[in-house]
Amino acid sequence: MNVTEYERKDTSLFQCSDGKMIETVYVGDLVPDCSDDESYIGFGITHSGPEMNQSGLGMSQSDKCSELQMSCFPSSKCYDIRFMCQYDLDHNNQIITCRNGFHLENCENSICTNSYKCYMSYCIPYRRVCDGVYDCIHRDDEDFCEQHLCKFMLKCRSIQMMYTCVHPIEVCDGVRHCLHGEDELLCDLKPCPAGCQCLGLAMHCLFTNIVSLTFISPHLQYLAIVDSNMSMQYLTFTSTPIIQELTLSKNKMDSKSICNKGLQRESLFFGLRLLRKLDLSYNRISTISGVCVLNNAFLKYLNVSHNIITSIDKKAFTVIVELEILDISFNKIKSFDADAFSRLSDLQYVNVRHNPIAAVIVDSTFVFKALASDTGSLCCAVKVKACLTSVANYYLA
Ligand SMILES: [Ca+2]
Ligand SMILES: [Ca+2]
């Protein structure tokens, strides 16, 4: 299985005489990386978990190292004595501190602080206990894992039913230790604005008058601003780029609010590339334009019900091709053009109830999987698999 790896911190590279590029941190550690450079050959121990070389070579401090340092014998590289007997791997699965593992010798009696002590040996971070990889010489880090609980630690998301536990000292330390980075996610949470409720990466605001989102965590994934009497004309979402669900229901948004970038013809939601769900119901939107299109390619749910929409431009949905659910009920749509939906091959459900539809244009061969309308007459005019004449509730999984 994959090992939770250190993020790449030092990306500076060194060019071998044969042209190969290696990271500078590996230069001069006596582990050969350059195929034609003999100076790096001679102590070729790379990480092999429990089979790691444990032969006693004696502690020898190089003259180069200071009082608070030790040497990675026989390499002249020095390391801070705090890292003596501390085992960990970098993003290339190479041993950190002394790549030859010399700092892990003679650790039988070492004391492990905030880390797990392998039986009669060195210390490993708790996240390497029961991670499915043997890290201790005697393999005791992978014993009794069915009883392994992340007590007082952060439990990373499960990977193949294996859990990684991150000690609090490694939470919000600027380095991703969970494979999906949960340990670094909630580190810059800012105070919850008045009138809002915040929970993790979600924020729900009611009756507030927010004019800027720049003070909100850039990691926000769910945002609802409801009943706030706002036009949203001056609001932008550039500081919250990974919002996945956005509810702006019951405000004073109009078509101009949505297309607020003037000549750039970008929608208010431009840049929200991960947006999956957008609720603009109960506003004052009069048209869904093909000029200032929604460009959120992964949008699956769009609710523009209870507005004053009179028309839907033919090109309104040309980018949001993954749309599955569309609610345009309770508007003032008089003319219904089936061609506007022709690119929406994933569309599962469209609700057009409570619209004064008088004209139907059918130029395309598009087939609606499920169409909810007041009467069956619209279903007869367009191609429909399932005609729903009563309100049905659909939810995203
Ligand atoms: Ca392990
Ligand atoms: Ca971390």
Ligand that comes closest to the CA of residue 126: 1
Angle at alpha carbon of residue 315, lines to 312 and 317, rounded to 5°? 80
Q: 149 CB contacts (<8 Å, ≥6 apart)?
A: none
**φ, ψ for residue 254 (rounded to 5)?**
-125, -175
CA of 117 to the centre of ligand 2 (A): 20
Beta bridge partners of 23: 13
66 with 113, same domain?
no
∠ CA(138), CA(142), CA(147), 5° rounding? 135
- Ligand minimally distant from the alpha carbon of residue 145: 1
The verdict on 98 and 118 lying in the same domain is: no
Q: Are 278 and 253 in contact (CB under 8 A)?
A: no
Alpha carbon of 222 to ligand 2 centroid (Å): 23
If one counts every other C-beta atom within 10 angstroms of the C-beta of residue 73, the result is: 20
Cα 169 to ligand 2 centroid, rounded to whole Å: 8
Whether 87 and 121 map to the same domain: the answer is no
Q: In terms of domains, do 256 and 181 share one? A: no
Structural tokens at position 114: 């905030």
> For residue 148, how far is its CA from the centre of ligand 1 (angstroms)?
12
Are 67 and 121 within one domain? Answer: no
DSSP at 255: H
Residue 364 placed within a domain: yes
Q: Is residue 396 part of a domain?
A: yes
Phi, psi of 117 (to 5 degrees): -95, 115
Nearest ligand, CA 185: 2
- 64 and 160 together in one domain: no
Q: What is the pLDDT of residue 288?
A: 82
Phi-psi region of 181 (alpha: psi -120 to 50; beta: other; left: phi over 0): left
| Domain carrying residue 55 | 1-105
Distance 129 CA to ligand 1 centre (A): 4
Same domain, 91 and 113: no
pLDDT in tens, the chain (397 residues): 333 334 444 468 877 777 778 877 777 776 777 776 544 443 333 333 433 333 333 344 446 788 888 888 887 788 999 999 999 998 888 899 998 899 999 999 999 999 999 999 999 999 999 888 999 999 999 998 888 788 889 988 877 667 789 999 999 999 889 888 889 887 877 788 888 998 888 999 988 877 777 777 788 899 999 998 777 777 788 888 999 999 999 998 888 888 765 555 678 888 899 999 999 999 999 988 766 778 888 999 999 999 999 988 888 888 899 999 999 999 999 988 888 898 899 999 999 999 998 888 877 788 899 999 887 888 888 888 888 876 544 443 3
CA of 69 to the centre of ligand 1 (A): 28
Residue 236 lies in a domain: no
Query: 18 and 76 share a domain?
Result: yes
Residue 142 CA: which ligand is closest?
A: 1
Residues 93, 40, single domain; the answer is: yes
Whole-number Å distance, alpha carbon 302 to ligand 1 midpoint, is 45
